[in-house]
Chains A and B, each alone.
Chain A
Amino acid sequence: MRRQVLTGTAGVISLVALWEGYKLLAPDDGVVVAGMTVLPRANDVAMPHLWDMAARAAAPVTSAPGADPLWLAVGQAAAFTLGVAAVGWVIGVTVGLLTATLMQRFRTAESALLPWVVLSQTVPLIALAPLVRRWGSQLEIGAFAWQDWMSVAVIASYLAFFPVSVGALRGLSSPDAVHVDLLRSYGVGWWRTYSTLRLPAAVPHLLPAVRLAAANAVVGAVVAEVSIGLRGGIGRMIVEFGASASADPAKQWSPIAGAVVVGLVAAGVCVLLSRALDRYRVSEVS
Chain B
Amino acid sequence: MKHTARTTLGIGAMATTAALALSACAGEAESADVGSGDGLTPVTLQLQWVAQAQFAGYYAALDQGYYEDEGLDVTIVEAGTDTVPIDVLAAGDADYAISWVPKVLGSIEQGTEVTNVAQVFERSGTLQIAFADSGISGPEDLAGKNVGSWGYGNEWELFAGMQEAGLDTSSDISLVQQAFDMNGFLAGDIDAAQAMTYNEYAQVLETVNPDTGELYQPEDLTVIDWNDVGTAMLQDAIWADTARLAEDDAYAETTVKFIKASLQGWAYARDDAEAAAGIVTAAGSTLGQSHQLWQTNEVNKLIWPSTSGVGTINADQWEQTVDIAMGTQNETGASIITSEPPETAYSNDYVEQALAELTEDGIDVLGEDFAPIDVTLLEGGE
Contacts and interface: CB of A to CB of B under 8 A. Distances in A.
A269 B16 contact: yes
Interface in B141-195: 179-183, 186-187
B7 interface: yes
A183 interface: no
Contacts, number: 167
B204 A229 contact: no
Interface size range on B against A: 35 or more
A161 interface: no
Interface string A214-248: 00000000000111111110001101111111111
A225 B333 CA distance: 34
A82 interface: yes
- B interface secondary structure, majority: helix
Interface in A43-67: 43, 45-46, 61-64
Contacts of B12: 272
B23 interface: yes
A273 B10 contact: yes
Interface of B: 3, 6-7, 9-14, 16-17, 20-24, 27-28, 31-32, 50, 78-84, 87-88, 91, 93, 179-183, 186-187, 199, 203-204, 206-207, 210, 281, 284, 286-289, 291, 378-382
A272 B9 contact: yes
B203 A276 contact: no
A232 B80 CA distance: 13
Given A41-B187, A226-B81, A242-B180, A247 B203 contact: yes
Interface centre among B12, B80, B179, B181 (most CB of A within 10 A): B80
A31 to B, nearest CB: 14
Contact of A84 (B7, B24, B199, B381): B24
B207 A247 contact: yes
A282 B22 CA distance: 34
Given A83-B27, A237-B286, 5 more contacts: A61-B286, A145-B32, A246-B181, A246-B182, A269-B13
Contacts of A273: 10, 13-14
B7 A227 contact: no
A39 interface: no
A231 B284 contact: yes
A134 B85 CA distance: 12
A46 B183 CA distance: 8
A130 B381 contact: no
Given A89-B17, A276-B6, A244 B32 contact: no
Contact of B17 (A45, A90, A245): A90
Contact of A246 (B28, B87, B93, B183): B183
Interface string A137-181: 110000001010110010000000000000000000000000000
Contact of B186 (A126, A231, A246, A272): A246
A277 interface: yes
Given A82-B20, A84-B24, A244 B381 contact: yes
